[in-house]
A and B are shown apart, each in its own frame.
Chain A
Amino acid sequence: MKGSRANLAFYCRNILVITIFTDFYLLWTRASRKDSLLMKQDATTLITRIQPAKIEDLSRLLDKYGACINGNNALCLPSLPSLHFACWVMVTQNPDYPPQLMLEANHDGTSENFLAELSRQAQAGLHAIYSHCEGYPPTAETDGLQMTRFLHTQMVSCPAFYIGAPEQSLESIRNAIEVREEIERFLEAEEKAGRLQELDALQVQRRIAQHLETNGAVKPQISPVTLEEQKSRAHTNAIGLILLGIPLALLLLPALLVFYIVLRMHEMQDARATVPPPLPIDPRLFNKEDVFIQNHLTTFVDVKPGIFRKWTLKGVLAIVNLLAKTCFITGSLGGIPTIHFARWILMDDDRRLMFFSNYDGSWASYLGDFVDKANYGLTAIWGNTDRFPPAVNLFDGGAKHIEAFKQWSREHNLYAALWYSAYPNETLLNITNAITVRDAIGKPLSQMEAEILLQRL
C-alpha cells in the first residue's frame, strides 16, 4: 500500500516534469520567433457562477441573443475587430455543482486586450448577461473598467488549445476572402471577354497580380507567416520534439513502466463495468445544427475519480497542447482538416472536462472524422472520463467504437444558445486556400508553381 502510494507520487512528479517540459518548449519556440507575437490568436475562457434563482431568466436571454446574433445592438459581436468565434453556454445540469456560465472566445491578441474590447463594444449585453451571475458589480453597467476587471477575475486557464489557421488575424482572413472574391470576379469578366484564351498559367497569374495591384478594389495583405513557412516550422518542431522526447522518454522509462501497469489495472477495472443505460439527449441541440456551413460542439464530461486519472488527463492534454502548438500548425488536428478552433478546459477542481470546438460540416461528418482519423488522440483524452467507451493501452479502443462513441458524444453535448462566428460560411480549407492564393499571387513563380496555385481557385 505504502509502495503504491510512493509510486503514485513518483508518477505524478513525472507528469509534472512532462508538463513543465512542454511549457518550456513552447516558451522557447515562441521566444525564437520575434515577429507576430502581437497578432497571435488566443483562447479566453470565463467561468462564472449563475445565481440559482436566475437560471431560467438567463437561459431565455441567451436564447433571445442567440436568435439574432447579427442584429443585436446590446451585444454587438460582429463589431469586434478581433473576435473569430464566441460562445456562451450554461452548465446547470448537475445539482452537485453550482450552476455556471461559460464563455468561450477565440480572438486575436491577448485576453486582456480582448476583454477590454469586449467591454467597450458590448457593455449593455454583457451587463444583461452577467447581472444574472454571482459577484457581478452592478456598477459595471456604466463603468467599462469595472466590467473588464470583473470579466478578468472570471478567467480560467486552458490546458489544450488548437488553432486551425495560426498567425492569421481576423482582418487577414477577411482580406483573403475578399481577395478571392475579387479574383473570381476578375476571371469571370476576363473569361467572358475571351481574354484568357491561349494564356498559360504564368500569364494568368501575372494578369491577376496586375489587376489586384492596379484596378482591384481590395488590396492583398501579406500574411506575417505563410503556410509554407508554417509547414517548415512544423517539420523542424517535429524533429526537435523527437530529439528531445526520446532521451526524456528513456529517462522516464521506469516511471512510464509503472504508469503503464497502473493504467492497465485501471482499464481492466473499467472494462468490467457494465454499460450504463443511455442518458437523455437535449433535443435543442438539433435545431442549432446545420444552419451555417460551420457548427459548434461542446462536450462536457466528468473526469473519472481518483488522482491517477486526473494526472493522466493533465499529462495527455499537455502533450496535445504541445503538438497543437508545434506540429499541428498547418490546418489539421491529427488529420482532421475542418477545425477552426478547439480547446479543452478543466473545471471544478479538475473534476469536469469541457471540450469546445468550431468546425466545418455536419455533426455526423465531424464525429466520423474523429473515428476515422483521430481516434487515438481523442481516446487518450476522453478515456479518462466517465462513460467513455472502454480504452485499451491509453490510445486504443474507445473512440474506435463508432456507435458507442457517437452515443456518448450526443449524450454529453451541451446546448449552446449563443454561438457566434465571424465567417460562418467559410470552411478552414476555403480560408487556407484563399490565404495561399493571396500570399503567392504577386510573387515570382515558376510555370509549374503557377499551375498548382491556380488550381486552388
Chain B
Amino acid sequence: MMLELPDIQGIVTAGYGQMPHARFLCLQIQDVLLAKAWLQARLPYVTTSSRRAHNEPKPKTALNLALTSDGLSAWGLPHETLQTFSREFQQGMAHGERTKVLGDTRDCDPTLWQFGGMTNPPIHVLLMLYATSEHELNELTSAHWTAAAGTSGLGLVFQQESYRRSVNEPFGFRDGISQPAIEGTPGNRDPGQDIIKAGEFILGYVNEYGEPPPMPTVSASLDSAGVLDTDKQSGQKAFGLNGTYLVLRKLSQDVEGFWNFVEKQTCKADGTSDISARELLAAKMVGRWRSGAPLTLTPEKDDPELGRDGERNNDFTFMESDAQGFGCPISSHIRRANPRDTLQPNPTRSRVIANRHRLVRRGRPYEENGKGTQEEGIVFIAINADIQRQFEFVQQTWLNSPKFGGLVDCKDPLTSDNDGTGSLVLQRNPVRKRIEGLPRFVFTKGGGYFFLPGMKALKFLANL
C-alpha cells in the first residue's frame, strides 16, 4: 500500500537535519473556538512528508503539531473517541502505571517535573518549530505563535529551546546512527539499516505483525465536512489515519557524573588518569566509541573514519563475531536499545522480533546555563505506532531490566533508572569484569505522550 505522504506530518519521515535550531512550545487550550481558528490558519504551514520537486530549494523552516489526550478532550472530542486511542496515551506519561513502567521514580518522579507532571499545568498542544538559523526560528515563532498568541485561545505552559551544535550528544558520543528506514518512504538506505513496515510508525498501514495497528476513530456525525476517510474495519471515520504517537521527554544528562564515574573506575593506582582505559570503559558502556565506531567492529581502539562513515558504522550484527560480548558488552546501551540478532531463540528469529520494537528517534540536544549551573541533555522524541510495544517496551524490557540477556543485576549503564545498587558486567576471557554501584546518569525532567495527527485529521480538528 502506497504511503499518503502529503497527509503525513514531516517529522515522521525527516529529522530536519539541516535545521539545527528548534523550539518546542507546550500550549494549553483556554478558548477552544479561538484555538480552532488558530489551527486553521496554521494548516498551510504544517510541514508534511510530501516529496520536494527537483528544482525546489530545501526548506529553511519546519512546523509540526501534536496533541495530548487531555488536548483532544479539551478540543471537544467525545469520550468514546478518546477510548479508541491506546491506554498509554489516554493515561499520559505521568500516570502512575506509566512511571512504574518507565522507571520515572524517586528523583525522576513526575511531581518534580518542569512540565507534563502531575503538579504542572496540563499540556494540550505541542508546537514544534525548526529552522536553519536562530533568526529564522525567531521569525517562525513570531509568525505562528507570538504575533497570534493573544487571539490563539492558547496559553504557553512551557517552552524548550534546542540547538544542535554537533553530531554528538552531551556525553560526547555520535548520536542518531541506528535509525530504522520506514518502508515506502523516499530516500537512500544505508547498509545495515533495517527497513521496517510503515505500520510500526504510521497508523493505517500494515505493521511488522502483518496487521494494521488499532485505528482511533470518530463517529461520522462529527465529520460533517467529510474531511476524514472511512475506516473499513469499524465503519467509523479514521481520525488516526496517517497519524502516529509521539513521545517527548526532556532528559537531563549528568555529564560530569558520568565522566567522573568512568575516571574513578579507570584511574591508575597513583590517582592519575589512564586515558585509554577511561575511553575504553565509556565506550563499553555505550557500545560505540565517541566517533560512533561500533565496538563489535573495532573492539580495541576508536576508528574515527569508521565512525563517520554512514555506509559502515551501522552495518554489523553481534552474533557472528561478538556473540559473547567481548567487544560490545551484553549490557551496553546499543546492544539493549537495538539487540539486532542477539535475542532468543536464534539470530534469524531475533531480527524479526527486534524489529517489532523499533523507534524513529527525532531527539535534539539542549543546554541551559543557570546561576553557576550548567545543564545538558536531550529533548528525546520518538515516533511509534504503539507506545506500549515500542517506546515503553524498549525502556522497560531492554534498558531498565537488570535481567536483560541473562544478566543478574545489570541495567543499561547509560540510560536506565539505575539507583546505585546495580552493576555493570564486562564480558572478558577467561572471566568477566564487574563494576558495582552504578548511579543514574540520565534524569527525566518532563514529558508527555502526544498524538501527531495526519493533515486531514488536523483539518478535521480545525473544522470541529
Question: Which of A36-44, A149-157, A223-231, A425-433 is near enough to bind chain B?
Answer: A425-433
Once the chains bind, are B392 and A364 in contact (CB under 8 Å)?
A: yes
- Inter-chain contacts of B431 with A (CB < 8 A): 187, 196, 201, 204, 454, 457
Min CB distance A237 to B, Å, is 19
Alpha-carbon distance between A418 and B146 when the two chains are bound, in angstroms? 56
Contact of A429 with B406 at beta-carbon distance under 8 Å, contacts A201-B429, A368-B393 already known:
yes
Closest to B233 in A: A275
Whether A368 pairs with B97 at a CB distance below 8 angstroms is no
Whether the Cβ atoms of B211 and A361 lie closer than 8 Å is no
B415 within 8 A of A: no
CB closest residue in chain B, given A199: B430
B434: interface (CB < 8 Å): yes
Contact check, B396 vs A362: say whether CB atoms are below 8 A apart.
Answer: yes
Across the interface, A362 reaches (CB within 8 A) one of B101, B211, B402, B408, namely B101
Taking the complex as formed, is A200 at the interface, i.e. its CB lies under 8 A from any CB of chain B? yes
Q: Which residues of B contact A373 (CB under 8 A)?
A: 344-345, 349
Please state if A430 and B211 are interface contacts (CB–CB under 8 Å).
Answer: no
CB distance from B302 to the nearest CB of A (A): 25
Q: How many B residues are at the interface, by size bracket?
A: 20 to 34
B403→A451 contact, CB < 8 A? no
The answer to whether the Cβ of A340 comes within 8 Å of any Cβ in the partner chain is no
Instruction: Looking at the assembled complex, report how far the CB atom of B421 sits from the nearest CB atom of chain A, in whole angstroms.
Output: 12
What per-residue 1/0 map shows which CB atoms of A352-373 lie under 8 Å from chain B?
A: 0000000011101100100111
Query: With contacts A368-B356, A403-B213, A403-B214 known, is A191 near B406, CB below 8 A?
Result: no
User: Closest B-chain residue to A429, C-beta based?
Assistant: B406
Complex CA–CA separation, A191 to B431 (angstroms) = 10
Q: Mark B90-104, 1 if CB is under 8 A from A, else 0.
A: 000000010011000
Interface size for A (C-beta < 8 A) is 40
Given contacts A451-B430, A454-B430, A457-B431, contact A290 B101 (CB under 8 A): yes
Q: Which residue of B lies closest to A334 (CB)?
A: B345
B244: shortest Cβ distance to chain A, in Å? Answer: 16
Closest to B346 in A: A335
Evaluate whether A364 and B388 lie within 8 angstroms (CB atoms) in the complex, with A191-B433, A430-B406 already known: yes
Smallest CB separation, B247 vs chain A (Å): 15
A455 at the interface (CB under 8 A from B): yes
Contacts of A361 in B (CB 8 A): 397, 401, 403
B449 to chain A, nearest CB (A): 16
Once the chains bind, are A455 and B403 in contact (CB under 8 Å)?
no
Q: Which residues in A have their C-beta under 8 angstroms from that of B402?
A: 293
Which A residue sits closest to B401, measured CB to CB?
A361
B208 (CB) vs chain A CBs: closest residue:
A402
Is the Cβ of B344 less than 8 Å from the Cβ of A335?
A: yes
Chain B residues with CB under 8 Å of A196's CB are 431
The CA of A347 and the CA of B406, in the complex, are separated in Å by 37
Contacts of A290 in B (CB 8 A): 100-101, 396
Interface-central residue, A184, A203, A371, by most chain B CB under 10 Å: A184
- In the assembled complex, the Cα of A239 lies from the Cα of B210 at a distance in Å of 35
- Residue-by-residue, is B338-357 near A (CB-CB < 8 Å gives 1, otherwise 0)? 00000011000100110010
Bound complex: CA A372 to CA B209 (Å): 9
B179 beta carbon closer than 8 Å to chain A:
no
How far is B402's CA from A200's CA once the two chains are assembled, in angstroms? 28
Is B324 part of the binding interface, using a Cβ–Cβ cutoff of 8 Å? yes
Is A364's CB under 8 angstroms from B389's CB?
Answer: yes
In the bound complex, residues from chain B placing their C-beta under 8 Å from that of A286 are 97
Q: In this assembly, does B168 line the interface, its C-beta being within 8 Å of a C-beta of chain A?
A: no
Do A427 and B344 touch across chains, with their CB atoms under 8 A apart? Answer: no
Provided the pairs A368-B389, A401-B211, A429-B403 are in contact, do residues A337 and B430 lie with their beta carbons within 8 angstroms? Answer: no
The closest CB in chain A to the CB of B405 belongs to: A429
Could you say which residues of chain B place their CB within 8 Å of the CB of A180? 408
Alpha-carbon separation in the docked complex, A360 to B396 (Å): 13
B427 at the interface (CB under 8 A from A): yes
**Complex CA–CA separation, A332 to B345 (angstroms):** 10
Asked if A451 contacts B432 (CB within 8 A), the reply is: no
Q: Is the CB of B403 within 8 A of A337?
A: no
Query: Which of A184, A200, A335, A364 sits near B430, CB closer than 8 Å?
Result: A200
**A402 to chain B: which residues have CB within 8 Å?**
209, 211, 389
CB-CB under 8 A from B427, the residues of chain A are 455
Distance in Å: Cβ of B323 to nearest Cβ of chain A: 10
A327 smallest CB distance to B (angstroms) = 14
Contact in complex: B434, A337 (CB < 8 Å) = no
Contact of A364 among B211, B397, B406, B408 (CB under 8 A): B397
- With the chains together, A201 CA to B214 CA distance in Å? 52
A400 interface contact, C-beta 8 A: yes
* Chain B 182-223 interface mask (CB, 8 Å, partner A; 1/0): 000000000000000000000000000111011000000000
Q: Which of A401-457 contact B (CB under 8 A)?
A: 401-403, 427, 429-430, 433, 450-451, 454-457
Determine if A204 and B213 form an interchain contact, defined as CB atoms under 8 angstroms apart: no
Bound CA–CA A451/B431 (angstroms): 8
Residues of the A chain whose Cβ atoms lie less than 8 Å from the Cβ of B101: 290, 362
Given known A-B contacts A188-B434, A200-B430, A430-B408, A364 and B393 have beta carbons under 8 A apart: yes
Most chain A CB within 10 A, of B214, B352, B431, is at: B431
- Nearest-CB residue, chain A, relative to B352: A372
Chain A residues within an 8 Å CB radius of B213: 403
Residues of chain B within 8 A of A400, CB atoms compared: 209-210
Q: List, in ascending order, chain A residues with CB within 8 A of B430's CB.
A: 199-201, 203-204, 450-451, 454
What per-residue 1/0 map shows which CB atoms of A321-363 lie under 8 Å from chain B?
A: 0000000000010010100000000000000000000001110
Interface string of B404-445 (1 = CB under 8 A from A): 001010000000000000000001011111100000000000
Residues of A within 8 A of B429 (CB): 201, 451
CA distance A184 to B433 in the complex (A): 10
Whole-angstrom CA separation of A403 from B393 in the bound complex? 15
Contacts of B352 in A (CB 8 A): 372
Q: Which residue of A lies closest to B214 (CB)?
A: A403
Most buried by A among B213, B396, B408: B408
- Residues of A within 8 Å of B392, CB to CB, are 364
- Within 28-58 of B, Cβ neighbours of A (below 8 Å) are at none
- Contact in complex: A293, B397 (CB < 8 Å): no
A364 / chain B contacts, CB cutoff of 8 Å:
388-389, 392-393, 396-397
Contact of A365 among B210, B393, B434 (CB under 8 A): B393
Nearest A residue to B210, CB-CB: A400
**Quick one: closest B residue to A432, CB to CB?**
B406
Q: Across the interface, which residues of B come within 8 angstroms of A372, CB to CB?
A: 349, 352-353, 356
A187 to B403 alpha-carbon distance, docked (Å): 20
- Closest B residue to A200 by beta carbon equals B430
Chain B residue at smallest Cβ distance from A208: B431
- Name A454's closest neighbour in chain B (CB-CB): B431
| Contacting residues of chain A (180-207) with chain B, CB-CB under 8 angstroms | 180, 184, 187-188, 191, 196, 199-201, 203-204
Inside 8 A of A360's CB, which chain B residues have their CB? 403
> Which residues 238-297 of B have a CB within 8 angstroms of A?
none
> Which of B209, B432, B433 is within 8 Å of A371, CB to CB?
B209
Q: Give the docked Cα–Cα distance between A286 and B97 (Å).
A: 7
Q: How far is the CB of A64 from chain B (nearest CB, A)?
A: 22
Q: In the complex the two chains form, what is the Cα distance from A430 to B406 in whole Å?
A: 6
Shortest distance from the beta carbon of A198 to any chain B beta carbon, whole Å: 10
With A and B bound together, what is the CA distance between A451 and B432 in angstroms?
11
Looking across the interface, which residue of chain A has its beta carbon closest to that of B345?
Answer: A335
| A-B CB proximity, top 5 nearest | A201-B430, A365-B397, A429-B406, A427-B403, A454-B431
Besides A373-B345, A402-B389, 13 other A-B contacts (C-beta < 8 A): A188-B434, A196-B431, A332-B344, A335-B345, A360-B403, A361-B403, A362-B396, A364-B392, A364-B396, A401-B209, A401-B211, A402-B211, A454-B432
Interface residues of B (CB under 8 A from A): 97, 100-101, 209-211, 213-214, 324, 344-345, 349, 352-353, 356, 388-389, 392-393, 396-397, 401-403, 406, 408, 427, 429-434
Q: Name 22 interchain pairs, CB-CB below 8 A, sorted by A.
A: A199-B430, A200-B430, A201-B430, A293-B403, A337-B345, A361-B397, A362-B397, A364-B396, A364-B397, A368-B353, A372-B356, A373-B345, A400-B209, A401-B211, A403-B211, A429-B403, A430-B403, A451-B429, A454-B430, A455-B427, A455-B432, A456-B406
